[in-house]
Amino acid sequence: MLKVWGRATSSNVQCVMWCIAELGLEVERIDAGLMYGVTKTPEYLAMNPNATIPTLVDGDHPPLWESGSILRYLANNYGADPFWPDDALERANVDRWAEWGKVSVQMSFSHPIFWKVVRTPAAERDTEQLQSAVTAFEDKLRIADQQLKQHPWLAGEQFTLADVMFGHILFRYYDIDIQRSNQLPDLQKYYTRLTDLDNYRKHVMVNYDELRAT
């Protein structure tokens, strides 16, 4: 059985848990990180010297950390075509969109926008800086919107790992208190399709009140 260390409110943990669910694998998740502690213990640091989440252990195999690496391991070891294509060129297409979603898009959202809204009291927010970050983030989303005008899913005609690595960000984008663009119609339709997926609702659409500034 797989074991994942990380709190349910971590977006990086969420995309790993969503992927595991889509692959139909059994998993035990152990709360870790922020208010749950664990990550600074000697036992955890022996698995993941970065003290970050998630960490994955698959049976007797060595621990894996960094969510992108974990997701590719899961896809390579347990995924099948079309989620993770057999053909090298088709797989590279999925992988480029997956990498783009995980790096270019998520990094433009999580710290400069989500954490600035959720972890900062409203009276202390730099609204000008925040709106600038939202504008830059939505420039990335326009790339997805254009792609989704041509295809139902991010990498093409089928749901793939790319949708997991990109799509998990959208719940928080559409949920937090920011001024959003109304010029991303195909992205909105795509997000609506994601919210119809049971595994998305279970693992991604998670209440994150425990992260809010008090």
Cα 179 to Cα 15, 130, 170, 192, distances in angstroms: 25, 10, 14, 19
**In degrees to the nearest 10, what's the CA dihedral of 37, 178, 133, 14?**
40
Query: Which listed CATH number (3.30.565.10, 3.10.20.30, 3.40.50.2300, 3.40.30.10) goes with 2-78?
Result: 3.40.30.10
Q: What is the pLDDT of residue 139?
A: 97
Quick: pLDDT tens for 120-173: 888 888 999 999 999 999 999 999 999 999 999 999 999 999 999 999 999 999
Q: What is the pLDDT of residue 123?
A: 85
- C-alpha 78/C-alpha 84 separation (Å) is 9
Domain ranges of the chain: 2-78, 88-203
Query: Which listed CATH number (3.40.50.150, 3.30.300.30, 1.10.3210.10, 1.20.1050.10) goes with 88-203?
Result: 1.20.1050.10
pLDDT (tens place) for every residue of the chain, 214 residues total = 999 999 999 999 999 999 999 999 999 999 999 999 999 999 999 999 999 999 999 999 999 999 999 999 999 999 999 999 999 999 999 999 999 999 999 999 999 999 999 988 888 889 999 999 999 999 999 999 999 999 999 999 999 999 999 999 999 999 999 999 999 999 999 999 999 999 999 999 999 999 998 7
Q: What is the pLDDT of residue 68?
A: 96
Q: What is the pLDDT of residue 121?
A: 87
Burial degree of 165 (CB within 10 A; 0-12, 13-18, 19+): buried
Q: What is the pLDDT of residue 103?
A: 92
Domains 2-78 and 88-203 in one fold:
no
